[in-house]
Amino acid sequence: MGKFTYREIKVPERLVFIVSFSDPKGGVTRHPWSPNWPLETLSTVTFEQQGGKTKVSVQWIPADSATEMERKTFDEGRDGMKQGWGGTMDQFAAYLGKK
């Protein structure tokens, strides 16, 4: 299960939040398939108006508490993360298209 802890919500510009895996009680836990994944990652999503459309940019990095091994594991997983975020954004665009 995922856990999002919001640090900043600046409408309509930016969302900043910590992402972690959690146990059933909401406590932070390790990635179920990757024991060296960072316990927490920091996500910044920005929204920028461009010619009547909204450009969405995502920055996702290990949180400050990450170890060197966790940072290496995170960097090695970037291609998979691009697919995951890309799929999420595609689903979001499809949802908005139905409105």
Q: Could you give the CA distance from residue 89 to residue 70 in angstroms, rounded to a whole number?
A: 26
pLDDT at position 97? 82
Per-residue pLDDT tens over the stretch 17-60: 999 999 999 999 999 999 999 999 999 999 999 998 889 999 99
- Whether the per-residue pLDDT at 63 is higher than 90: the answer is yes
- Whether the per-residue pLDDT at 92 is higher than 90: the answer is no
The stretch 63-89 carries a mean pLDDT of 88
Are residues 39 and 20 in contact, defined by beta-carbon separation less than 8 angstroms? yes
- Whether the per-residue pLDDT at 14 is higher than 90: the answer is yes
The pTM is what?
0.81
